[in-house]
Amino acid sequence: MGTDLQSVLLTKQEIDAKLVELAAKIDAEYAGKDLLIVGVLKGAVMVMADLARALSTPVTMDWMAVSSYGAGTQSSGVVRILKDLDTDIKGKHVLIVEDIIDSGLTLSWLLSNLGSREPASLEVCTLLRKPDAAKVAIDVKWIGFDIPNEFVVGYGLDYAEKYRNLPFVGTLAPHVYGG
């Protein structure tokens, strides 16, 4: 797996199984409703693609790109919109799909931003969460895995734009980011 990676945290099989499990719960929640799933670029691309295909509920998909990290591994708390939604979400059932909640600062900002657009409902599904890194409390309805407070890559997650295409989630060796 290359010397930059330390270990495999979640295999492709574990991720696939979890997304099928989450999709069943999301299907049950939104039965008979129109659902818009919003992926947060770029990290959530893999989760969106696999979760969307595991859902039976017909959905529309939109994307937002925000930046809070730069090339490093620490959240700055300063969020910029790099790409806004293409659609008006007023009156719609919106589900934000995230790769990871670390400090929670990005998501907390996103929730208040999207919440102010008056959606019919607004919930969050994240593949990963680091409970020990939380700086703000966020109500997240669907969580794939709680993971230790270590920098992870793969399955959409990057370090300096690398490793996004790994089919699994792995931990990065500390020497790579100077830890």
Stretch binding Mg ion (CB under 5 A), from 12-20, 41-49, 111-119, 120-128: 41-49
Residues at the contact surface with ligand XMP, assessed by CB under 6 A: 40, 43, 68-69, 75, 98-107, 151-153, 157-159
| Residue 100 near which of Mg ion, ligand XMP, none (CB within 5-8 Å, type-dependent) | ligand XMP
**Based on CB atoms, which residue is closest to ligand XMP, 26 or 166?**
166
CB of 67 to Mg ion, least distance (A): 8
Residue 55 in contact with residue 93, Cβ under 8 Å? no
Cβ contacts of 152 within 8 Å, gap of 6 or more = 9, 100, 128, 169, 170, 171, 172
CB of 57 to Mg ion, least distance (A): 26
Cβ contacts of 175 within 8 Å, gap of 6 or more = none
**C-alpha span between 5 and 8 (Å, rounded):** 8
| 43 forms part of the interface with Mg ion (CB under 5 A) | yes
**C-alpha span between 60 and 104 (Å, rounded):** 25
The active-site residue out of 4, 84, 102, 158 is: 102
Cβ contacts of 114 within 8 Å, gap of 6 or more = 38, 89, 94, 96, 122
Residue 93 in contact with residue 36, Cβ under 8 Å? yes
Stretch binding Mg ion (CB under 5 A), from 37-45, 86-94, 117-125, 163-171: 37-45
CB of 62 to ligand XMP, least distance (A): 17
Residue 3 in contact with residue 175, Cβ under 8 Å? no
Residue 102 known to be catalytic: yes
* Number of residues in contact with Mg ion under rule CB under 5 A: 1
Helix (H, G, I), strand (E, B) or coil at 98: strand
**Based on CB atoms, which residue is closest to Mg ion, 33 or 83?**
83
CB of 133 to ligand XMP, least distance (A): 7
Please list the active-site residues.
Answer: 102
Write out the residues near Mg ion by the rule CB under 5 A.
43
